[in-house]
Amino acid sequence: MLEYENLMYGQNANAIFALEDITKNRKLKNPFYPIKNIDYSTQKNKKKERLRDGEIRIMGVDVALMGGNANDNTIITCMRLIPNGDKYLRKVSYIESIEGKHSEDQAIRIKQIFEDFQASYVALDTHGNGMSIYDELAKVQYDEERDVEYEAWCAYNDEEMKSRAKSPNPLPVVFSIKAGNRLNHEIATSLRVNLQSSNIELPISEIEAKDFLSDKKYYQNASIEDKVLYELPFIQATLLVNELVNLEHDIVGGFIKIKEKSGKRKDRYSSLGFSNYLAKVLEGENLKIDDYFDETDELVYF
């Protein structure tokens, strides 16, 4: 979490996401917390939180290779989709950053969170760095810490990726994303529109969260280590905000191309963008929207 030090918001004229459009969405006070591995044996059989009528839970995973490091840096975004007319209200309940771990271990962590969060689908970039994670997810895996064997997964929207899963009867839960110019454009504009329309709830600031948590008995009685874990979703949200306001864009061939400033990152943006895009796809499938994407839809310019 060294990136959290000296965190300052900055924005320029070429920014694609306005700070006010993001901060107005920081309303969420009740994030999701995965089960700690040390507590899994005692908590695994506890009654899980009941999902709301029509609610779907999804995850967005972005994998970025670190410069000069063979290990991956993975961002996991957990999003609750609550039906609201012909749209889903997106609630970003949890963000986790995994650094310096082997792709096999990262895949197991994704499956842990998938189970704990009661997720149905995972949006994953399978075009680039995410391929190594996908190939691990496509295997039956044994989790030594939790003493759990996880089923193999596969993509359900991409036959080529589905065929990479060699295990019999893999779970079709991966929404494969292979982003070219048009899809990258759609991901950016859809996220911008949903932020502007207050359709994505993000965790409140960590300063507000500390004040909010200080009244909770579970926080008051927690160890220093556990207090940090309770605060992490709010800190991760602030890191996300910092990424979003520092992103720039160009128009290339009529499509928006997102780029990060030198020394900045965009992996939290990508993870959020993937989950938001999957939410849009699920809206079209489940909420009976009477429209379709054509050559002019969402070609938004700034």
Please indicate, yes or no, if residue 82 is contained in any of the structural domains. yes
Q: Is residue 230 part of a domain?
A: yes
Strands 56-65 and 72-84: antiparallel
* 264 domain-assigned: yes
Asked whether residue 3 is assigned to any structural domain, the reply reads: no
Count of domains for the chain: 1
Is 4 within the bounds of a domain?
no
Across the strands, what pairs with 113? Answer: none
Predicted local distance difference test score (pLDDT) of residue 252: 87
SS3 assignment, position 297: coil
Residue 293 lies in a domain: no
Q: Assess if residue 112 is contained within a domain.
A: yes
Please list the ranges in the chain whose pLDDT falls under 70.
1-13, 65-72, 289-302
Give the model's pLDDT for residue 44. 84
pLDDT of residue 12: 58
* Residue 122 lies in domain: 11-286
Q: Which pTM value belongs to this model?
A: 0.89
pLDDT of residue 262: 75
pLDDT of residue 48: 86
Structure tokens at 52: 């709301």
Contact 196, 21 (CB under 8 A): yes
CATH number of the CATH domain containing 200: 3.30.420.240
**What single letter denotes the amino acid at residue 241?**
V
Alpha-carbon distance of 71 to 81, in angstroms, equals 32
| Residue 120 within any structural domain of the chain | yes
The predicted structure's pLDDT at residue 289 = 52
Specify whether the CB–CB gap between 244 and 261 falls below 8 A. Answer: no
Residue 302 has a pLDDT of 43
